[in-house]
Amino acid sequence: MKTGLCLLLPKKSGLKEVSELNQAGKRIAVKKGTTGHLYASRNLDRARTLILDKESSAVLEVLQGKADAFIYDQMSVFKHAAQHPEQLEARLQPFQVESWAIGLRRQDEALRTQINQFLRKYKEQGGFDRLGDLFLLEQKQAFQAQGVEFLF
């Protein structure tokens, strides 16, 4: 599965791009140790980064107006915006695409080959599309509404 880093913003923030956060006076909430944390550290050095231990704490910072944005993965950002539709919005366009993977022991070559063959065939047969329609239809529709590719 592919996902991407995107922004959870206060409603009517006016922000369109992550680059707009890279300025003095902007505050960005990130969860400690995540790729969002790494991205902010490397690319948004003019802003103040609020490094928090919990995802819920980062969302609360945005809700309370203590942060201008929360950088996190698309599915989580969508979920948080849906939980607070009057206060938050999800800017789902990814500014960094990432992949999720399955971890195996290095010596498990045969198993890795089997898994990769299954995943390739399942994708070709539309299996992931069917799963997305069955379990993630609301997310797919929200992504489409923003013109963002659904990366499942």
Sheet of 48-52: strand order equals 48-52, 27-31, 69-73, 2-10, 88-99
Tokens for 51, please give them: 């490094």
Q: What is the pLDDT of residue 148?
A: 87
Give start-end residues of each CATH 3.40.190.10 domain in the chain. Answer: 2-100
How far CA 8 is from CA of 48, 81, 107, 123, 133, in Å, comes to 16, 7, 40, 30, 24
Label residue 149 by pLDDT band (50, 70, 90): confident
Average pLDDT estimate for 47-55: 97
Q: Which CATH number fits domain 2-100: 3.40.190.10, 3.30.70.360, 3.50.50.60, 3.40.50.720?
A: 3.40.190.10
How far CA 46 is from CA of 27, 30, 71, in Å, comes to 10, 15, 16
Average pLDDT estimate for 108-115: 95
Work out the mean pLDDT of the chain and round it to a whole number.
Answer: 93
Number of H helices, E strands in the chain: 6, 5
Q: What is the pLDDT of residue 45?
A: 95
pLDDT of residue 56 exceeding 90: yes
Cα angle value 109/115/121 (rounded, 5°): 135
Measured CA to CA, the distance from residue 129 to residue 137 in angstroms comes to 10
pLDDT of residue 1 exceeding 80: no
Measured CA to CA, the distance from residue 70 to residue 142 in angstroms comes to 19
Average pLDDT estimate for 68-81: 96
Q: What is the pLDDT of residue 151?
A: 72
Average pLDDT estimate for 16-33: 96
